[in-house]
Amino acid sequence: MNALASFAGGNSFVGTDRPELPQDGEGPRRAVRLKPFRLETCTVTVERFAAFVTETGYVSEAERLGWSAVFAGFLTDGFGPGRPRTSSDWWRPVDGACWRHPEGPGSTIEDRAYHPATHISWADASAFADWAGGRLPTEAEWEHAARDGAGDRRFPWGDAEPTDTEIFCNIWQGRFPTENTLADGYYGTCPVDAFPPNSAGLFNMAGNVWEWTADAFRVRSLSREARSTNRRATDERLKVVKGGSFLCHISYCYRYRIAARIGLPPDSAASNSGFRIAYDA
């Protein structure tokens, strides 16, 4: 089992009173009461997910669907024409892409044993959690752990802003999506224990891969009028993901902050989707 950080529970909060993207439901700050819980210090690795598949015969949703979303910068045709696009210019639907073949047929995981498993859907993450005897964390647990129970800090390490030269985590440096200076040493994912942990011993709670939580995605801060026109923000079939990924940059996706969040369909999988496991204490 991966190393665990323990949290006593008690009074805590979720969200922030200084939201950067209020349309995502980052605020207002809401009080919550947490039961004691434990959280794995790292996201689930390729090696661990492979062990789960070997023991159970599990077939991931991307494998069953036959394709997954791959960051265009990983592909030989890059951002040029000739490949069907998804709703974003930097994503491509690639037949055969899955956790075993992260960039599609011909790509391997041989040198990524200690990188996070990717192309993981909510159902995949939940199935692994059941096998491991745990569960996905709630959004409130995830935020509490990322702050280590502290006040409304912006990032797991405090309020210091990552930049293209001040490196705290695995996010994009340069001009997204066409130029990455690789100032942090990585173009895609990094090992799950890269970069210093937060004060609770948790690694990569900002950047690297988005992390699934147990919660449905709701935006409580929207007005009634806004709710009537923002179906995505009121679609409880979506699940909350936290932490941002190696593709985040302040210029377009400032979502590697603790309070940041998005909602994704539970069958969604991509080059930057992963997870970590929580346990009741």
* β-pair partners for 135: 278
Whole-model pTM: value is 0.92
Q: Does 82 score more than 50 pLDDT?
A: no
**What is the reported pLDDT for 83?**
44
Pairing of strands 273-274, 210-216: parallel
> Please, which pLDDT band fits residue 234 given cuts at 50, 70 and 90?
low
Domains and CATH numbers, the chain: 4-280 (3.90.1580.10)
Q: What's the start-to-end Cα distance of the chain, in Å? A: 15
What average pLDDT does this structure show over 78-98? 71
Residue 232 pLDDT = 54
- Burial classification of residue 134, based on how many CB atoms lie within 10 Å of its CB (0-12 exposed, 13-18 middle, 19 or more buried): buried
Torsion angle defined by CA atoms of residues 8, 11, 14 and 19, in that order, rounded to the nearest 10 degrees: -120
Q: Long-range contacts of range 17-23, CB-CB < 8 Å, 24 or more positions apart? A: 17/152, 18/152, 19/221, 19/259, 20/254, 20/257, 20/260, 21/254, 21/255, 21/260, 22/221, 23/219, 23/222, 23/230, 23/233
The mean of the pLDDT values for the chain is 91
Q: What is the pLDDT of residue 227?
A: 47
